[in-house]
Amino acid sequence: MGALDAAFIQEAEQRPDLKMVEGEGIPMIDLSDSPARTREELAAEIGDACKKWGFFQVVNHGVPLGLRKRVEELVKEFFDQPPEEKEKVKRDEVHPMGYHDSEHTKNVRDWKEVFDFFLQDPTLIPALSHPEDKSLRKLTNQWPQSPPQFRETCEEYAREVENLAFKLLELISLSLGLPADKFNGYFKEQTSFLRFNHYPPCPQPELALGVGRHKDGGALTVLSQDSVGGLQIQRRSDGEWISIRPTPDAYVINLGNAMQVWTNDLYWSAEHRVVVNTEKERFSVPFFFFPGHQVSVKPLDEITNEENPPKYKEFNWGVFFAMRNRSDYKKQEVENIQIDHFKVSE
Ligand SMILES: O=C(O)CCC(=O)C(=O)O
Ligand SMILES: [Fe+2]
C-alpha cells in the first residue's frame, strides 16, 4: 500500500480524533474457577458488561499462551511475504476466504490487509444467485504453502478459541437466567471464521481508518490484539468513542448483532473502529462466532412479553451473512445490510 488513495479517505464526520483521551475502561473479567465465586456470580459480572458496554476483556481464559504466540509469529511471517506469494490465496467470488487487501466498511476502503478461514471446511451458506434461490453454496478454505505449519497451527488455535467462545456463550446464557446450553444448538453448522488483520503504518492516519465504524454480525467476537493499540468503541451510555488499551494475554470480547437481537436490546452490540498510525504496523486476530446458515434470528420468547414486545422481525442468519459478505467485494451504491433493517417500527 502506498500513499493515501482517495478510496481510503473517510467522510469528515467519520474521521478519527487521534488525540482522544482514554476513557473509563471496559470491564476486565477473570474467568478462572475460584471457590470464592459461583458460576452464576461470574455470569452476572458478564451480564452487567454485556448490558452496559457490549465489550469486556477476559483473563485466565484457558487458551494456551504459547500457541497464541506461535500464531502471532506465523501471521507476521505470512503478511511479510511479497504480494505475489500472498495473492496465491487471494479471495475471489468463488473463494470468499483467503487473503485480500481491499475490504470496504460502509463503502470506504479500510487501511489493512487480511487473511480469513472458516472453522468448518466446507461451510454452507445460501447461494442467493437470484431472489428466489433457496440453494446452498459450499465454501472451502484456501491455505498458503508458506510459512510452513501455517494451516496446522491456525486450525489448532481456532479450536482453542472456539472452546473459549462456547464457554462465554454459556455464561451469557446463564446471565439471562436461561439454561447454559440454550444457544449451543444454533452453532451446529456454524459459519464462524477467524481473521488475521494487518494494519500497515499509514501516511495520513487522520483521514483513514484501519476498519471503519461497524458492528460485528454474529453472537460474539473473541479478539486478540497486539500491544500497539488503535481499537476504539462507542460507549452505549453517551456515544463517546473510547480507546481499548491493549492488555497482554487478555482477549477482548464483544457482542454481535445476533446477540443484541436474541436479547431484544438488553445486551448491546457496540459500534467500533480501528485507528491507524504513521509509525507502527498492528496485528489483530478476531474470531467471529457465527450461527449456522439455517438459524432464524429473533428476540427470544423467554425474554419478550407484553411489556417487552419484540423489537426485531425474524431473519435468516445465512441470508444476512451472505448479503453482508457479498457487499465486501466492491464499493456499492446501497448501504450494507444492518440489523436495524429488521427493527419493528414503533
Ligand atoms: O483490529 C481490531 O482491533 C478490531 C477489528 C475488527 O473490528 C474487525 O475485524 O471486525
Ligand atoms: Fe469488528
Instruction: Tell me which residue has its CA closest to atom 1 in ligand 1.
Output: 284
Does ligand 1 come within 6 angstroms of the Cβ of 276? no
Q: What ipTM does this complex have?
A: 0.99
Give the mean model confidence (pLDDT) for residues 138-160.
97
Give the mean model confidence (pLDDT) for residues 144-166.
98
* Cell output for 248: 497482554
Domain region containing 233: 7-342
Q: Are 323 and 128 in contact (CB under 8 A)?
A: yes
Distance, in Å, from the CA atom of 217 to the CA atom of 224, rounded to the nearest integer, reads: 18
DSSP 8-class letter at 57: E
For the CA of 114, the closest atom of ligand 1 is: 9
- CA 255 to ligand 2 center in whole angstroms: 10
What's the pLDDT tens digit per position in 24-42?
Answer: 689 999 999 888 899 999 9
Amino acid identity of residue 34, one-letter, is S
pLDDT over 50 at 328, yes or no: no
Does ligand 1 come within 6 angstroms of the Cβ of 274? yes
Is there a domain that residue 148 lies in? Answer: yes
State the CATH number of the domain containing residue 173: 2.60.120.330
Distance, in Å, from the CA atom of 84 to the CA atom of 64, rounded to the nearest integer, reads: 33
Instruction: Return the ligand number nearest the Cα of 210.
Output: 1
- CA 213 to ligand 1 center in whole angstroms: 10
Provide the domain count of the chain. 1
For the CA of 225, the closest atom of ligand 1 is: 3
Distance, in Å, from the CA atom of 220 to the CA atom of 193, rounded to the nearest integer, reads: 12
What's the pLDDT tens digit per position in 200-248?
Answer: 999 999 999 999 999 999 999 999 999 999 999 999 999 989 999 999 9
Is there a domain that residue 15 lies in? Answer: yes
Is there a domain that residue 1 lies in? Answer: no
Is there a domain that residue 300 lies in? Answer: yes
Q: What's the pLDDT score for residue 340? A: 83
Is there a domain that residue 71 lies in? Answer: yes
Mean pLDDT of the chain: 92
Does ligand 1 come within 6 angstroms of the Cβ of 225? yes
Q: What's the pLDDT score for residue 132? A: 81
pLDDT over 70 at 192, yes or no: yes
Does ligand 1 come within 6 angstroms of the Cβ of 286? yes
Is there a domain that residue 2 lies in? Answer: no
Instruction: Tell me which residue has its CA closest to atom 9 in ligand 1.
Output: 286
CB under 8 Å to 197, separation ≥6 — which residues?
Answer: 112, 113, 114, 210, 211, 274, 282, 283, 284, 285, 286
Does ligand 1 come within 6 angstroms of the Cβ of 231? yes
Q: What is the pTM (predicted TM-score) of this model?
A: 0.94
Instruction: Tell me which residue has its CA closest to atom 10 in ligand 1.
Output: 216
Is there a domain that residue 296 lies in? Answer: yes
Task: List beta partners, residue 237.
Answer: none
- CA 60 to ligand 1 center in whole angstroms: 22
pLDDT over 50 at 331, yes or no: no
pLDDT over 90 at 177, yes or no: yes
- CA 266 to ligand 1 center in whole angstroms: 23
